[in-house]
Amino acid sequence: MAAFAARYARAFAQVAAATNLDLTAAQQQLADFSATLAGSRELREVLINPSLANEQKLKVVDAIARRLSMAQPVRNFIAVIMDHQRLAELDGILAEYAALADTNAGVTEVEITSARPLDEGERTHLVATAGELAKSRIHASFLEDASLLGGAVLKIGSTIYDGSLRAQLAGMKQRLSEAHAV
């Protein structure tokens, strides 16, 4: 991630704290704006075009802000990003802000990888297990990797808990080869 994304994320976090902004609502408003921008090639061309005056672009942003019921600090943040010609990197900035907000709220990111799609009961069980291991609230993302063969791998920070069938078979192979060597 570009270093500037972290700077923008920290700056917005400071503004949000100073203005007592509802962080959940702010994140949703930013996500809504990002989706609006991603969904319209014409809008992207207008807002990213360096030959158009910022005043014209701000009128467009203000119209979108009204339509999305955007809080003034969120609108101002988008205006700053646009003014600094960083709208093309908005998603990266928002991802950095979401990670920062989670860290500030004591939420740990957890990546859960399974060999196949998990049903709701399995997801709930793995999220609960990950929460116990992390000793905090978590935000889980789910991935699939057929090479695991079965089971799941939990990545909490830099710690990996590998309960996959692939890891169990590799361990069994190692023990058998050590036993054979003796």
Do 87 and 48 meet the contact criterion of CB atoms below 8 Å apart? yes
CATH class of 3-103: mainly alpha
CB 80 within 8 A of CB 47: no
> What pTM does this model have?
0.65
Q: What is the pLDDT of residues 25-69, one digit of tens each?
A: 888 999 999 999 999 999 999 999 889 899 999 999 999 999 999
Q: How far apart are CA 99 and CA 163, in angstroms?
A: 26
Residue whose structure tokens are 């993302």: 141
In 3D space, the residue among 25, 44, 30, 46 whose CA is nearest the CA of residue 78 turns out to be 30
Q: What is the pLDDT of residues 134-166, one digit of tens each?
A: 888 888 999 999 888 888 999 988 899 998 888
Q: Which residues belong to CATH 1.10.520.20 in the chain?
A: 3-103
The chain-wide mean pLDDT, for the chain, equals 89
Name the nearest CA neighbour of 111 among 166, 148, 56, 71: 148
Residue 11's nearest CA partner among 78, 83, 77, 98 is 77
- The answer to whether the CB of 121 falls within 8 A of the CB of 93 is no
pLDDT over 60 (residue 71):
yes
